[in-house]
């Protein structure tokens, strides 16, 4: 069922003629009916190699070393999060994974940081453990976000909006990058645990440029489908905030991460959650409200929507 997730070319949308652009928009919207799409991109493979190499070095350090980078009260928004902390809303046991999270620094006087300090925490990265990692990961964050900002313009056109509809809400948004190490499944404390239980992302869209092993699965109907992009392509999936803005036209891509018995080792992936500014009011756009899709969602702030989900996945409290 790999054909249920299509592959498109971001650069063909940006540089192609009208027919090429239309073909990309059509492919994206058809694929996102399942919440996922693969795309070609222009991200440097050298940057990916460097970032994943340094992250692998960090995760291979001792537990005591990694825990130096925990940030109390950050609720998974910056620094290190250890094993068996985050729990999928659909699960009874915690995910078998550890993470390090970061975004870009924000000036203290910025009005968004003043109003939403929890969303703009300074990045806490393991520079003392892996020299040079901070510059690489901040560059990595910037480059992935740029691709997401460009890609969501395809979605805007597909929704009948101006290409730049999302630009303002993404300006200075608290986009979060998360590196996740999934340890070997035989080391899990019980057979009930999986790498990541079935869940939807809260944000607008999510990008996954590379994973070191299989494991990502997408729910399409009643079936779980392996999400394995063509070589060099990036995975993009939809989140709950986009669902609300589109009045349910684009539902979030439900997914999980499970260990493959044929690959019993660990898995490393880095995902980036593209968030609007916390003050953004998530309200259905007019083009998505019609007889087929009557108005189904009330307006809510992006900040309130996120807090609700963080509570549900055990990152608050």
In a domain, 199, yes or no: yes
pLDDT, average across residues 289-313: 89
Tell me the per-residue pLDDT of 4-63, one tens digit each, with 9 for 90 and over: 899 999 999 999 999 999 999 999 999 999 999 999 999 999 999 999 999 999 999 999
pTM to 2 decimal places? 0.94
In a domain, 317, yes or no: no
In a domain, 100, yes or no: yes
Tell me the per-residue pLDDT of 184-215, one tens digit each, with 9 for 90 and over: 998 888 888 899 999 999 999 999 999 999 99
**What pLDDT score does 90 carry?**
73
| CATH number of 297's domain | 2.60.120.330
Tell me the per-residue pLDDT of 61-106, one tens digit each, with 9 for 90 and over: 999 999 999 998 887 889 999 998 878 777 788 899 999 999 999 9
Tell me the per-residue pLDDT of 104-124, one tens digit each, with 9 for 90 and over: 999 999 999 999 998 999 999
In a domain, 43, yes or no: yes
- The total of structural domains in the chain comes to 1
Q: Identify the band that residue 314 occupies on the pLDDT scale cut at 50, 70 and 90.
A: low
Q: What are phi and psi of 215, to 5 degrees?
A: 150, -30
In a domain, 77, yes or no: yes
Give percent of the chain above pLDDT 90.
84
Domain that includes residue 90, residue range = 2-312
């Amino acid at each position: 069922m790999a054909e249920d997730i299509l592959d498109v070319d971001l650069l063909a949308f940006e540089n192609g003629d009208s027919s090429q652009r239309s073909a990309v928009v059509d492919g994206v919207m058809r694929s996102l009916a399942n919440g996922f799409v693969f795309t070609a991109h222009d991200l440097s493979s050298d940057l990916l190699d460097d970032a994943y190499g340094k992250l692998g070095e960090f995760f291979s350090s001792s537990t005591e070393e990694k825990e130096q980078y925990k940030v109390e009260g950050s609720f998974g928004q910056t620094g290190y999060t250890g094993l068996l902390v985050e729990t999928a809303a659909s699960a009874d046991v915690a995910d078998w994974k550890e993470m390090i999270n970061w975004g870009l620094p924000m000036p203290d006087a910025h009005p968004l940081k003043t109003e939403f300090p929890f969303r703009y925490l300074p990045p806490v990265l393991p520079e003392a453990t892996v020299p040079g990692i901070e510059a690489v990961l901040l560059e990595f964050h910037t480059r992935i976000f740029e691709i997401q900002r460009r890609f969501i313009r395809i979605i805007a056109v597909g929704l009948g909006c101006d290409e730049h509809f999302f630009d303002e809400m993404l300006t200075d948004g608290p986009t979060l990058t998360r590196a996740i190490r999934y340890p070997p499944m035989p080391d899990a404390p019980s057979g009930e645990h999986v790498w990541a239980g079935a869940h939807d992302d809260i944000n607008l869209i999510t990008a996954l440029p590379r994973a070191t092993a299989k494991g990502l699965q997408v729910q399409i109907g009643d079936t779980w489908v392996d999400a394995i992009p063509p070589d060099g392509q990036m995975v993009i999936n939809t989140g709950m905030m986009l669902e609300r803005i589109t009045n349910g036209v684009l539902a979030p891509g439900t997914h999980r991460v499970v260990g493959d018995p044929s690959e019993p080792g660990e898995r490393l992936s880095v995902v980036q959650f593209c968030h609007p500014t916390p003050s953004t009011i998530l309200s259905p756009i007019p083009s998505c409200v019609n007889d087929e899709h009557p108005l189904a969602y009330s307006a809510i702030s992006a900040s309130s929507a996120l807090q609700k989900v963080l509570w549900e996945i055990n990152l608050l409290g």
